[in-house]
């Protein structure tokens, strides 16, 4: 880049590492690099922009400094737009940022963009009905631990205690989920499936535990979103898969960390992101 470029920025003040100091530091770094933040949008208090709004303002790149859930909402809102989204790590785990940039910080990502070490990509996604996961999708009763994480983020101690009790109950007593088409994994199913989009397919892991202590440990791993700590089966890589509840009840979902409604049977398919994302570093 040799000339300043106007961009817009979406940020979520409730995201894990997205406080005022971090946002101000990012804004200063962008300005020094020649990325002029002509508009800052605080989501969800302010509406996300539409493709028409961005085009009317002459904006070809919009940055998002937030967690995976906010990024998902923005990418979904911009489906079909001709510009590109620059994902910056402003959440707790930043799984999508890692997928696009590796462990780079926001400052390193900005530097890579302005020096030309960047490219536009269309990532694979996991789709389930109207839902799209860019970083990952969880299915099963153990997703109840996501509510504990939200209470922790809001520093709501009474809610955290209540949600923890509920999460343990759901994890141990909730209807297990089966990979039924194609058949894979344990006959008794799993309290949690993790689907992760990759190039050309999505991987599926089934998480299990033998008792309440193991379920609690698994729940703590879910809170940290470090799922690989728990015992699991690698069920393989798929482009489509049918999951079924073992008693006909709806299967709860976490899509890029956000709770969504499911059904007793869920068809997961490989999809593609509907807008270009900016990736940096080696392809």
pLDDT tops 60 at residue 210 = no
Per-residue pLDDT tens digits for 67-101 = 899 999 999 999 999 999 999 998 877 889 999 99
pLDDT of residue 158: 43
d(CA 174, CA 207): 14
pLDDT of residue 108: 93
pLDDT of residue 159: 43
Per-residue pLDDT tens digits for 28-67 = 888 888 888 899 999 999 999 999 999 999 999 999 999 8
3-state secondary structure of 143: helix
Average pLDDT, rounded, for the chain: 83
pLDDT of residue 40: 93
The pair of three-digit structure tokens given for residue 244, joined into one six-digit string: 């079924």
d(CA 111, CA 114): 5
């Amino acid at each position: 880049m040799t000339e300043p470029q106007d961009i817009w920025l979406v940020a979520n003040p409730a995201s894990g590492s997205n406080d005022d100091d971090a946002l101000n530091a990012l804004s200063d770094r962008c300005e020094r690099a020649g990325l002029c933040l002509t508009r800052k949008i605080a989501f969800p208090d302010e509406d996300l922009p539409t493709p028409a709004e961005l085009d009317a303002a002459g904006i070809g790149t919009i940055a998002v400094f937030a967690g995976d859930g906010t990024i998902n909402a923005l990418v979904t809102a911009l489906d079909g737009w001709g510009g590109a989204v620059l994902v910056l790590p402003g959440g707790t785990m930043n799984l999508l940022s890692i997928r696009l940039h590796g462990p780079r910080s926001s400052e390193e990502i900005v530097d890579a963009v302005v020096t030309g070490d960047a490219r536009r990509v269309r990532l694979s996604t996991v789709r389930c009905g109207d839902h799209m996961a860019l970083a990952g999708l969880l299915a099963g009763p153990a997703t109840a631990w996501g509510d504990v994480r939200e209470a922790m983020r809001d520093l709501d101690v009474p809610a955290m205690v209540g949600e923890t009790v509920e999460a343990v109950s759901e994890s141990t007593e909730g209807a297990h989920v089966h990979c039924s088409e194609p058949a894979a994994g344990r006959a008794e199913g799993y309290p949690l499936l993790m689907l992760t989009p990759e190039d050309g397919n999505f991987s599926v892991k089934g998480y299990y535990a033998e008792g309440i202590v193991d379920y609690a440990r698994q729940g703590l791993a879910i809170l940290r979103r470090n799922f690989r700590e728990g015992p699991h089966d690698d069920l393989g890589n798929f482009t489509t898969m049918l999951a079924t509840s073992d008693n006909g009840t709806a299967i709860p979902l976490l899509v890029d960390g956000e709770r969504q409604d499911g059904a007793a049977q869920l068809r997961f398919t490989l999809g593609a992101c509907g807008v270009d994302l900016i990736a940096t570093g080696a392809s």
